[in-house]
């Protein structure tokens, strides 16, 4: 992302925002003996993150992507002798390669991380599939520019990939600024754009087989940021070409930040708004005087000319002003729905909300609460940031399905507080049969998985001091996280999610270099800790059939110090009823040589890749 002469950056992408309890946040400022309010430098990304995180009583947070990008890690602009790590954190329980029938989508082989997945199927051709992810491939490029390593100038970019054979094989790779492959052009610096960083991918097809990508563009140490949309077209040979972006709501104001966008297109041939393109996102507002957080409503815009221009952005969240994680959904009759996580001013809990438009996005009704939720905290025995953002889809008969993650008590009902003690994360869904007016009670997507306990593997282990780490007792309930939802044109309803169904030992680093070198190298090994591993599951909601599509438990400690694996996963389905699940996996070993401008002797690591699996569940 960063192509300045002295780039500093980190990598990761995602979106983790919960909700706000502004009444509590406002109370300290109203007290006469309150301490002076802090002042934040909101001209920088780090200052905005500090403001949001420093708001008393506030539950919402920026996306995990934005938080990761704000944590600057210095690149090495001057080549030096290759680094030989004393140790590389790893586990004998990790995989060596992603095994069939799962397929690695990204095509690089130099240890670059990819995460935060989006996927879409051409409604006219079920064999044509497009996928997208935050792609840090430029961080491992071996080229140089005027003596500066390319990997020192790169960052997280908007990566895309395409398949013309139903997801069996994928294209393409990128190797240098002259060979970008299918990286999105015109947004980030090294891809010819004005912004240092970008990502947060979302995809949608229209009825003519055009594909649209939505993402973010922003700088770290200065205010400019935007929502960006690129149109992609396929030629007669099946090659995908991305066109230059259209920027929505570009701003240079320090008091505004756009986050967590999503895109949809009306591909329904009988819709009166056929081929309109819809984009929603969160607009964070800060006090220009002292940098304090004000609110974060959901904004929306639409295009009637294939993404060349967009309508004036408008606030569609009504009195639900403390929001994050929106997604537009298009019904077969052309009705546009936008789902999001949010809270009103006096709310004590977040909720999943929906708004609807029957005039092609020109106007929206008032928000309807689907259900209350208890925002998730990091899953037990993990370090990665997570969230409760919703996913959803519309069925051909007009039914609507919305899913999200909530903390539930092990004994039933919402967890009374945000804790893993006596509670666990559960992906749940709700259904509406009356155009979003009313909703069924939330139900677990994977009831049998939710009722089961984690499996312990790899125990016991001997600690460096000679003591023993045994498997945790009592066994913990399985946490599930980040649902995907897809409904086929015939009405088959698929849903997916991670399940933290395995726990194993993980040896920490007691001392070592700071990141980014410390993301790979360790000087002194530390104690073992308990580490939850993930598998990825898909279910047919109608039949109850379930398939585990990942082929080896996923170790989330590999990549970004275990702190970031994305903000969502995704699921798509074609007219042939074949689902395409898409998630972040860490079971490929690759040799890294260049990383953030630092050269290593070829060093084998497990890193984040994006992986898909396709199939049919009757």
CA–CA separation, 405 vs 569, rounded Å? 12
Distances (CA, A) of 259 to 13, 228, 302, 350, 481: 11, 11, 17, 18, 21
Cβ contacts of 534 within 8 Å, gap of 6 or more: 481, 498, 499, 500, 501, 502, 550, 553, 554, 556
SS3 state of residue 561: helix
Which residue, 35, 37, 43, 45, is CA-closest to 10?
45
Which residue, 302, 251, 242, is CA-closest to 277?
302
Instruction: Give me the pLDDT at residue 516, please.
Output: 94
SS3 state of residue 398: coil
Residues 598, 91 contacting (CB under 8 angstroms)? no
**Model-wide pTM > 0.85:** yes
DSSP string, 245-270: PEEEEEE--TTEEEEEEEEEE---TT
Residue 161 burial class via C-beta count within 10 angstroms: exposed 0-12, middle 13-18, buried 19 and up: buried
Could you check whether the bond before residue 468 is cis, i.e. omega within 30 degrees of 0?
no
Residue 231 burial class via C-beta count within 10 angstroms: exposed 0-12, middle 13-18, buried 19 and up: buried
- Token pair 């393409």 is found at 172
Q: Mind listing the domains of the chain with CATH numbers? A: 8-615 (2.120.10.10)
Instruction: Give me the pLDDT at residue 21, please.
Output: 33
Which residue(s) pair with 278 in the sheet?
264, 302
Residues 405, 480 contacting (CB under 8 angstroms)? yes
CA–CA separation, 386 vs 378, rounded Å? 6
- Token pair 């790893």 is found at 90
Instruction: Give me the pLDDT at residue 522, please.
Output: 97
Share the mean pLDDT of the chain: 92
Residues 59, 407 contacting (CB under 8 angstroms)? no
CA angle 323, 324, 325 (to 5 degrees): 145
Distances (CA, A) of 597 to 152, 222, 562: 4, 23, 21
Instruction: Give me the pLDDT at residue 33, please.
Output: 52
Distances (CA, A) of 296 to 108, 110, 329, 380: 37, 38, 21, 29
Instruction: Give me the pLDDT at residue 83, please.
Output: 97
Distance between alpha carbon 514 and the CA centroid of its chain, in Å? 25
- The CB density around residue 542, as the number of other CB atoms within 10 Å, is 12
Which residues in the chain land under pLDDT 70? Answer: 1-35, 57, 72
- Token pair 């920027």 is found at 247
């Amino acid at each position: 992302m960063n192509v300045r002469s002295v780039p500093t950056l980190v990598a990761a992408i995602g979106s983790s925002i919960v909700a706000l309890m502004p009444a509590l946040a406002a109370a300290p400022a109203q007290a006469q003996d309150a301490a002076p309010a802090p002042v934040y430098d909101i001209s920088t990304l780090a200052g905005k993150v500090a403001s949001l995180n420093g708001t008393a009583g506030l539950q919402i947070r920026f996306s995990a992507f934005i938080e990761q990008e704000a944590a600057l890690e210095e690149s090495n602009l001057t080549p030096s002798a290759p680094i030989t790590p004393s140790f590389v954190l790893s586990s004998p329980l990790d995989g060596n390669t992603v095994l069939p029938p799962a397929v690695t989508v990204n095509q690089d082989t130099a240890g670059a991380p990819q995460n935060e997945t989006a996927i879409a199927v051409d409604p006219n051709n079920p064999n044509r599939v497009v996928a997208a992810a935050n792609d840090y491939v430029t961080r491992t490029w071996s080229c140089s520019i005027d003596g500066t390593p390319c990997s020192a100038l790169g960052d997280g970019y908007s990566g895309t990939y395409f398949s013309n054979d139903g997801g069996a094989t994928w294209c393409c790779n990128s190797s240098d600024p002259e060979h970008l492959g299918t990286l999105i052009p015109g947004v980030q610096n090294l891809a010819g754009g004005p912004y240092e960083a970008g990502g947060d991918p979302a995809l949608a097809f229209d009825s003519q087989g055009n594909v649209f990508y939505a993402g973010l563009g922003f700088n770290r140490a200065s205010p400019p940021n935007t929502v960006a949309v690129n149109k992609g077209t396929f030629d007669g040979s099946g090659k995908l070409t991305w066109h230059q972006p259209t920027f929505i709501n570009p701003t240079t104001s320090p008091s505004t930040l756009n986050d967590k966008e999503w895109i949809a297109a009306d591909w329904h041939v009988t819709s009166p708004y056929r081929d309109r393109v819809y984009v929603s996102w969160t607009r964070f507002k800060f006090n220009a005087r002292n940098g304090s957080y004000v609110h974060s409503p959901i904004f929306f815009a639409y295009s009637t000319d294939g993404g060349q221009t967009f309508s004036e952005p408008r606030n569609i969240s009504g009195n639900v002003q403390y929001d994050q994680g929106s997604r537009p959904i298009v019904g077969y009759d052309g009705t546009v729905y936008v789902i999001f996580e949010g809270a009103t001013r006096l709310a004590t809990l977040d909720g999943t909300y929906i708004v609807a438009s029957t005039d092609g996005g020109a106007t929206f009704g008032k928000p309807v609460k689907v259900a209350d939720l208890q925002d998730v905290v990091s899953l037990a025995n993990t370090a990665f940031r997570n969230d409760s953002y919703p996913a959803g889809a519309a069925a051909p008969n007009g039914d609507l399905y919305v899913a999200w993650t909530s903390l539930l008590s092990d004994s039933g009902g919402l967890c009374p507080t945000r804790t893993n003690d006596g509670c666990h994360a559960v992906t749940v869904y709700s259904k509406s049969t009356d155009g979003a007016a009313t909703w069924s009670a939330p139900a677990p997507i994977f009831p049998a998985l939710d009722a089961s306990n984690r499996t312990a593997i790899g125990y016991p282990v001997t600690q460096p001091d000679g003591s023993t780490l045994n498997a945790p007792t009592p066994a913990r309930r399985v946490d599930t996280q980040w649902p995907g939802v897809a409904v086929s044109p015939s009405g088959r309803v698929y849903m997916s999610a991670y399940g933290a169904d395995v726990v194993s030992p993980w040896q920490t680093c007691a001392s070592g270099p700071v990141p980014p070198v410390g993301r790979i190298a360790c000087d002194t090994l530390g104690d073992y800790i308990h580490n939850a591993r993930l598998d990825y599951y898909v279910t047919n909601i109608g039949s109850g059939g379930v398939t585990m599509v990942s082929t080896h438990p996923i170790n989330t400690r590999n990549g970004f110090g275990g702190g970031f694996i994305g903000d969502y996963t995704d699921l798509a389905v074609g007219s042939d009823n074949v689902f395409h699940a898409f998630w972040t996996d860490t079971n490929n070993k690759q040799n890294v040589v260049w990383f953030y401008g630092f050269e290593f002797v070829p060093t084998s690591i497990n890193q984040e890749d994006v992986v898909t699996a396709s199939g049919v569940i009757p």
